[in-house]
Amino acid sequence: MTRPLAAIVMCLALAMPLHAQSNCTDSGVTCSTASGTLLINITIGRALFLTVTPPTTALTAPTAAHYDAGFAETTGPTTAIRSNAPWVLAVSAASAVWSATDTQTQPARTNKPAEDLLWAASPAGPFVALTISPAAIASGNASSGATAASLFYRTLYSWALDTPGEYSLQVVFTVSSP
Amino acid sequence: MAAKKVLLLLSCLAGITAPAHAQTLAHAEVTAIVRVPDFLSVRVGETTTIGSHARRVTVYVTANRRWQLSVAHACGTCVMRIQDGEGRGGNETPVTIEYEWPEGTAPPDPAQIHYLLTPA
């Protein structure tokens, strides 16, 4: 379902100091050539196209070893930007806590903080906790769709806190002007 | 899966100018999701002898949920006491089990004692 996004707005102003044609008659008088100036003014607005794939990332299901280590890692989404002007890409969490759905008799943890999902621009890190405040992850100039950033996730797990269940977190990508 | 795409169309009607400060131009939301299974494990730790006909065994429970520990054994005349046989998620939570067997009889075979950890 690809729908090209382009924003081009043109403001066209025409100045038309066209002068009236000289009179020509059939009396043999030489006609003068009509002349004028046409001024075209176009204003191109900012055009920007952000792509994030995939829309859903299935995080690595934790094992006992992940619990012991305190985290599990997953390759996250990739972003691409087409823009006709400089841009800054930031990432944040849509909410302060994960959505939790019970899958066992034990209730899922309802207060798992967004900070339990960390992101990095490379597999080796450094990893930064996701918060509801946008954090810049990449920036660039006008570009035609090269990858802006690939994210890598690290999800934290605690034996004492993270009960069984299905957990999800909305991750927000925003692009702004520098 | 389809990519999430965001279109932003900005300004440019006559008389409207872009603000000088940074502004959000595009925005997209994606989902991170995980299903966490339950984990329950028990590890038999140290055993100490108490007197001539009693023994104390410490087992360690690791779980990410509430649990209950019980003991199955074939020693009909033994008395067993479990301290803190229930608990919440945690790593290596110790549980103490004491066995007493009648004086003059053989102690229970540790291999015949089974520790059962179940979700609570």
By C-alpha distance, the chain B residue nearest A106 is B65
Closest Cα in chain B, distance from residue A37 (Å) = 22
CA distances to A30, B58, B108 from B52, in Å? 137, 18, 13
Q: How far apart are CA B112 and CA B120, in angstroms?
A: 24
Q: Which two tokens stand for residue B35?
A: 């299903």
Whether residue B75 has pLDDT greater than 90: no
Which pLDDT score, from 0 to 100, does residue B103 have? Answer: 84
Of all helices (H) and strands (E), which one includes residue B96? Answer: strand B90-100
User: Is the CB of A166 less than 8 angstroms away from the CB of B36?
Assistant: yes
Q: Is residue A15 part of a domain?
A: no
Highest average pLDDT, of A76-80, B7-11, B71-75, B99-103, comes from: A76-80
Whether residue B96 has pLDDT greater than 90: yes
Count CA within 13 A, CB hemisphere, residue B65. 22
Domains held by chain A: number: 1
By C-alpha distance, the chain B residue nearest A177 is B22
Least reliable range by pLDDT among A134-138, A147-151, B62-66: A147-151
Count CA within 13 A, CB hemisphere, residue A23. 3
Which pLDDT score, from 0 to 100, does residue A27 have? Answer: 60
Which pLDDT score, from 0 to 100, does residue B64 have? Answer: 97
Closest Cα in chain A, distance from residue B21 (Å) = 8
Q: Is residue A115 part of a domain?
A: yes
Q: Mean of the per-residue pLDDT values for chain A?
A: 86
Which pLDDT score, from 0 to 100, does residue B1 have? Answer: 41
Select from B31, B62, B63 the Cβ nearest to the Cβ of A170: B31
CB contacts, 8 Å: B26 with chain A: 48-50, 174-175
Closest Cα in chain B, distance from residue A23 (Å) = 38
Q: Where are the domains of chain B?
A: 40-119
User: Is the CB of B1 less than 8 angstroms away from the CB of A3?
Assistant: no
**ipTM of predicted assembly, 2 dp:** 0.78
Q: Which two tokens stand for residue A47?
A: 């055009």
pLDDT tens profile B1-26: 444 444 333 333 322 333 345 677 89
Q: Is residue A34 part of a domain?
A: no
User: Is the CB of B33 less than 8 angstroms away from the CB of A76?
Assistant: no
Whether residue A47 has pLDDT greater than 70: yes
Q: How far apart are CA A37 and CA A176, in angstroms?
A: 39
Q: How far apart are CA B8 and CA B62, in angstroms?
A: 51
Q: Is residue A59 part of a domain?
A: yes
Which pLDDT score, from 0 to 100, does residue B118 have? Answer: 94
SS3 string, B34-95, reads: EEECCCEEEEEEEEEEECCCEEEEEEEEEECCCEEEEEECCCCCCEEEEECCEECCEEEEEE
Select from B3, B10, B65 the Cβ nearest to the Cβ of A53: B3
Of all helices (H) and strands (E), which one includes residue B119? Answer: strand B114-119
Domain that holds residue A53: 48-176
Query: What integer is the mean pLDDT of B58-83?
Result: 90
Question: What CATH number corresponds to the domain at position A75?
Answer: 2.60.40
pLDDT tens profile A112-121: 999 999 999 9
Q: Is residue A56 part of a domain?
A: yes
Q: Mean of the per-residue pLDDT values for chain B?
A: 81
Which of A46, A74, A103 is the best residue to mutate to test the B interface, defined by the most B CB atoms within 10 Å of its own CB? A46
Q: Which two tokens stand for residue B15?
A: 């008389």
Which pLDDT score, from 0 to 100, does residue A19 have? Answer: 46
Which pLDDT score, from 0 to 100, does residue B89 have? Answer: 95
User: Is the CB of A59 less than 8 angstroms away from the CB of B28?
Assistant: no
Closest Cα in chain B, distance from residue A31 (Å) = 40
By C-alpha distance, the chain A residue nearest B89 is A160
Least reliable range by pLDDT among A6-10, A14-18, A42-46, A82-86: A6-10
CB A70 within 8 A of CB A118: no
By C-alpha distance, the chain A residue nearest B23 is A176
Query: What integer is the mean pLDDT of B57-84?
Result: 90
Cis peptide before A126 (omega within 30 of 0): yes
